[in-house]
Structure 1
Amino acid sequence: MRRLSLAAAAIAAVGVAPLLLTPFQVTLANNIGIAALVTLGLVLLTGIAGLTSFGQAAFVGIGAYAAAYLATVVELPPALAWLGGSPWGGLALGLALALAVAVVLGAVTFRLAGHYLPLGTIAWGLAIAFLFGTADSLGGYTGLSGIPVLSLFGVRFDSGGRLLWLIWAVLLAALLVTANLLDSRQGRAIRALKGGQLMARSMGIDVVRAKMAAFLIAAAFAAIAGWLYAYTQRFVSPAPFSLGAGIEYLFMALIGGAASIWGAVVGAAVFILSKEWLQDLLPHLAGRTGNFEAVVFGLLVIVLMQHMPDGIASAVRRAARRARRPRPPSPAAGDTAAPLPMRAKPRPGEVILDARGITRRFGGLLANDDVSLSVRAGEVLAVIGPNGAGKSTLFNQLSGVDRPTAGTIVFRGQLAAGSSPRAMARHGLARTFQHVRLLPELTVLENAAIGAHLRGRKGLVAAMLRLDRREEAQLLAEARRQLARVGLAARCDDRAGSLPLGQQRLLEIARAVAADPCLLLLDEPAAGLRFEEKQELAGLIDRLRCDGMAVLLVEHDMDFVMGLADRVFVMDFGREIAHGRPADVQADPAVLEAYLGADA
């Protein structure tokens, strides 16, 4: 209902704007709308997915030059002759070229870590801007002029007011589909990238595909903005599509709020209006002309990063939230949705995971030396040992994060050594992390729903057009059920970052269990918890065991483990030193000496 009210208000404002604004103000509004569309792609790519790009202006140039070329060149190559003079042809060509470039660049950089993407976008942004200026067919540095008036469906957009309606209609549509996307399974997959790729892969998310989706949508928005720019200016030249322009779009995202879709509009408006004002004011103050506004914007971004790190839009939203009366929790409408299909449960006592002879070398360091263990359905197996015993290395190999140097891992009857975390998740393994990995700005419910990612099937287009509502209701209902299971039902609408550590660990378990696993790996789940929180956690793990789930946990807290585990596996210096029932292990002289520091 709130979204419909906002949409109605925005449509009404756009409808009356040309009647109330001066021609100059209409021109500014058109420039703001185009810039906001470009910045919206950056918000999705950089602020939400966590992928920094300096090349967004180059995608705008691709869309603009495609439209200008088809609209002005008299004799086109035979393959493009049917598109000549068609604005729709220019739009289609610009989108096709922008998406093709994005696919090539993404394929090269997305599988690499670190700063390869931003460095790559700088490099190809410079290259494409240079191409625009040196290609004779594109008019060189002189550019292409004589672009005719845009005509769509028999309507001529020959005035600033009519162009305002078109530009802002496109922008509002882009805002709507982006909001729809982020409120979906596919949107949560993109958001999960910012929480770390290991977490995302462990939840079954195809990280490369999620990155590519964000990159392609950002490129498409920029290309459409370029098409609108070409028909608004009726002239294109290389300067507006340079690396400097790409940095300006990043400024807009930072000023408005890099993680807020409305921040794209706020940032574009603040930047363009301020730039216009500063270009008039600063030369009078300095006594000479120059690009002094760049210095001011640099200082503005520094101040904003200190006092409003999330941008203006986010700060306003937080202030409005504080001013409002606390709202009651949203109704659990999804609880009436049909349950998601569940995987076949293993038989009680069935061996879920069997690892034999696991050896892992890092150069001359032997982290795991011929380790063998198995986990059965309906039991809790605890792996303990002093720091440096090799527990985390073993845990990473069992969960698919690392590959054994030697040995075999059989998971549910299939060889799994070297399988990816995503493949292990698909076959029924879920895990938590030693250091909690949540998305603090998302709600508790949204974080839990990430765990059910592999249990949905709807794609990007269905999400953007809101055709996934039935499946989305099922996913959210499953997330609510698991939150109720861990005692967090009352916190569904709270931000995950507001929870105390103990409840954050419970949320991680709810997220993992939402995947419907048959094996749950818990990495030091009791670390940092108070006594009461440990008791609550132990009760939860015991309930999961009673439901037939196999649980393997790595833990330091001896008291916690001994009162919970069915079997205990003790490691020291990468090797097994004891294995058996808690009471037997607790009395083992080797354990007393290695783990407790006692003298055997």
Structure 2
Amino acid sequence: MKATLLGRLALLAIVPLVALLPLPEFWFTQLNYIGLYSLVTLGLVLLTGIGGLTSFGQAAFVGIGAYTTAWLTLNTELSPWLTIWVGLAITAASALVLGWVTLRMSGHYLPLATIAWGLALYYLMGNMDALGKYDGLLGVPALTLGGIDISRGKPFFIFLWLLVFLGAFALLNLLDSRTGRAIRALRTGSQMAESMGVDTLRHKIGIFLIAALFACVSGWLFAHFQRTVNPSPFGLKMGIEYLFMAVLGGAGYIWGAITGAALTKLMEDQLQVLLPRLIGTSGSFEIIVFGILLVLVLKYLPDGLWSLVARLRPPARRTGVPVDGPIDLPTRARPGHGEVVLQVQDVRKTFGGLVAVNDVSFEIRAGEIMGLIGPNGAGKSTTFNLITGVLAASGGTVRLQGETISGLRSRQIARRGIARSFQHVKMIPDMTVLENVALGAHLRGQAGALRAMLRLDRREEQRLLALAAQQLRRVGMADQMHELAGNLAMGPQRLLEIARALCADPTLLLLDEPAAGLRYKEKQALAAVLRQLRGEGMSILLVEHDMDLVMQVCDRMVVMEFGTRLMEGTPAEVQASPAVRAAYLGTEH
């Protein structure tokens, strides 16, 4: 941590040192434009590259920041240092409304929606008399500090780039936190994140808001740097160009935002000079070159140019082992031994004319391992998904400790004490094993995005990581906690899922084929863990095809066939049942 802090302080110290270099004024102007673009692109990296939400409308938020300060400073006596807060407030309100409406969309509808509202804001700016229509607003006052004009040249360079680096550090802090893990799960693991209690829509709106606020700050600076504002820099063309910067630099990397902004600006200027000489005629030919370059980057370097740097110098990951000891985090009250924990009553699920689960009923008591078995296609995983809210039941009722949870969302059910693993392992491959497991403790933390960006969440973060390490030791994966999860074999991936579910401190644990891919010794270790959990009073619902494991650990079993409950009984009763043998092996004629 000390090395990281020193590195960041060194970067901040570089800014005034660069300002002392005897560079021509032209290059400071270029660096200032790169800094303005970098602020917008930083937000896009968080939104698009990490959060998986494509937006072509960020230029409109730049326009809101620019027009707000321009109009207020020209028509009122407000200082620019106050207009920034007005701009941020207007941007936040706009982003929250637009985000609430558009971020419920998925697929190609979301990018189309961002294009639509980006165009709408652009034409609104260009058609309002108060904003000067397409001629814009002229004579925006300079940005001054202590009577010194800092809206030009070297003073502006120092102020701007300190903001850029502080913004980058804030985003790095955010990603290295409880909220950051939830954000990083949005792109590829939304269903898993919801089952861990993450409100994915809220986090999508959150990163949309952060990206809009970064763009607003850029617009505020732009207005006082240019001293004039008109709609041209805030149209769809610039929205596409910002996205191009993020993709070129590396949409998944914070420092890729600055790389992409710098390369785009420098190439744009140089191509405007070189191409007319080569072709012999003038025109916007640089746009064609950018299009070709984007296709080549997407094909041969889809993670952007910064990924080359990341390969040479992989990002620093935690190597220390979190402290193993008492962890001061909220815990859930356990039901008394033998108390009914889960009641599934006449649950039914249909997909059109197909009945996947047909009026299945059973109950689980505290300190009991219930097996849910049956041939492939019997409806076991569908039943799991009905209990955990991944699927909405077509009929019947599910109760957890007497409270009806049918119809609740996955995150609401997780909050009430159910944690689960998945039939097909769900994890975030580019996060470490420790971070993946810590995602399971999301509901046991409270720190939000702002505290994380200011690094005020470190004490809670240490506790969450210590809890994750504790659960990894519990399942025998202590030596792999700092590996990238994507490097694990199938067996350890399943153990990771169990450790992640245990981090939630559940009342009821649902495990969907946890032994699939495990070796013999790993299965024996898993059986020992399950028995230990049962001894601690935890209730477990287990779907498994490994009959040896099921017979070893289960107290009772429900056998399903073709979506119906075939029978319920002890392992011995199930083994002795002719109906069960017929279901698995076929009826003997």
TM-score for the superposition, normalised by structure 1? 0.94
Contact 2:317 2:482 in 1 (8 A): no
Partner of 2:69: 67
Shift in CA distance, 495/580, structure 1 to aligned 2, threshold 3 Å = same
Partner of 1:55: 57
Q: CA deviation at 1:498?
A: 1.0
- Structural mapping, 1:224-239, within 5 Å: 224-239=217-232
CA distance in 2, matches of 1:70, 1:145: 13
Identity %: 53
Partner of 2:428: 439
Partner of 2:3: 2
Q: CA deviation at 1:329?
A: 6.8
Partner residue of 2:273 out of 264, 271, 280 = 280
Partner residue of 1:394 out of 383, 394, 399 = 383
3-state SS, counterpart of residue 440 of structure 1: coil
Q: List gaps (5 residues or longer) in structure 1.
A: 74-80
- Structural mapping, 1:310-321, within 5 Å: 310-321=303-314
Bigger drift between 402-411 and 533-542 goes to 533-542
Q: Give CA deviations for 1:12-51 in whole Å, capped at 9, x if unaligned.
A: 2210222222211101110111111100000111111111
Partner residue of 2:573 out of 564, 571, 584 = 584
Q: CA deviation at 1:400?
A: 1.6
Contact 1:592 1:599 in 2 (8 A): no
CA distance in 1, matches of 2:119, 2:197: 36
Partner of 2:356: 367
**Equivalent residue letter for 1:4:** L
CA distance in 2, matches of 1:5, 1:225: 27
Contact 2:151 2:224 in 1 (8 A): no
Q: CA deviation at 1:297?
A: 2.0
Partner of 1:428: 417
Q: CA deviation at 1:165?
A: 0.8
Q: Give CA deviations for 1:51-95 in whole Å, capped at 9, x if unaligned.
A: 11111111111111111111223xxxxxxx5xx342023212221
Contact 1:397 1:418 in 2 (8 A): no
Contact 1:339 1:478 in 2 (8 A): no
Q: CA deviation at 1:439?
A: 0.9
Partner of 1:247: 240
3-state SS, counterpart of residue 186 of structure 2: helix
Bigger drift between 562-571 and 537-546 goes to 537-546
Partner of 2:120: 127
**Equivalent residue letter for 1:5:** L
CA distance in 2, matches of 1:68, 1:164: 20
CA distance in 2, matches of 1:542, 1:114: 44
- Structural mapping, 1:112-151, within 5 Å: 112-151=105-144
3-state SS, counterpart of residue 563 of structure 1: helix
3-state SS, counterpart of residue 194 of structure 1: coil
**Equivalent residue letter for 1:311:** G
Partner residue of 2:474 out of 485, 493, 504 = 485
CA distance in 2, matches of 1:210, 1:158: 35
CA distance in 2, matches of 1:488, 1:551: 21
3-state SS, counterpart of residue 195 of structure 1: coil
Q: CA deviation at 1:100?
A: 1.1
Q: CA deviation at 1:487?
A: 1.2
CA distance in 1, matches of 2:9, 2:171: 17
Partner of 1:448: 437
**Equivalent residue letter for 2:342:** L
Contact 1:351 1:374 in 2 (8 A): yes
Partner of 1:179: 172
Contact 2:327 2:467 in 1 (8 A): no
Q: Give CA deviations for 1:456-502 in whole Å, capped at 9, x if unaligned.
A: 11222211111111111111111110111111111222111111111
Q: Does 1:269 align with 2:271?
A: no
Pairwise CA RMSD: 1.9
Partner of 2:516: 527
Shift in CA distance, 528/330, structure 1 to aligned 2, threshold 3 Å = closer
**Equivalent residue letter for 1:138:** L
- Structural mapping, 1:162-561, within 5 Å: 162-321=155-314, 330-335=319-324, 338-561=327-550
Q: Does 1:27 align with 2:16?
A: no
**Equivalent residue letter for 1:18:** A
CA distance in 1, matches of 2:137, 2:7: 39
**Equivalent residue letter for 2:92:** L
CA distance in 1, matches of 2:508, 2:364: 8
Contact 1:337 1:474 in 2 (8 A): no
Q: Give CA deviations for 1:343-363 in whole Å, capped at 9, x if unaligned.
A: 112222222111111122333
Contact 2:322 2:465 in 1 (8 A): no
Aligned length: 587
CA distance in 1, matches of 2:296, 2:532: 51
Shift in CA distance, 158/268, structure 1 to aligned 2, threshold 3 Å = closer
**Equivalent residue letter for 1:269:** A
Q: CA deviation at 1:540?
A: 2.9
Contact 2:189 2:427 in 1 (8 A): no
Contact 2:152 2:225 in 1 (8 A): no
CA distance in 1, matches of 2:541, 2:180: 31
Q: Give CA deviations for 1:413-436 in whole Å, capped at 9, x if unaligned.
A: 211111211111111100111111
- Structural mapping, 1:89-104, within 5 Å: 89-104=82-97
**Equivalent residue letter for 2:414:** A
Contact 2:381 2:423 in 1 (8 A): no
CA distance in 2, matches of 1:538, 1:248: 55
Q: CA deviation at 1:117?
A: 2.3
Contact 1:337 1:473 in 2 (8 A): no
CA distance in 1, matches of 2:571, 2:44: 54
CA distance in 2, matches of 1:239, 1:387: 60
Bigger drift between 372-381 and 223-232 goes to 372-381
Contact 2:189 2:428 in 1 (8 A): no
Q: CA deviation at 1:513?
A: 0.4
Bigger drift between 561-570 and 369-378 goes to 561-570
Bigger drift between 58-67 and 127-136 goes to 127-136
Q: CA deviation at 1:328?
A: 11
Q: CA deviation at 1:6?
A: 2.2
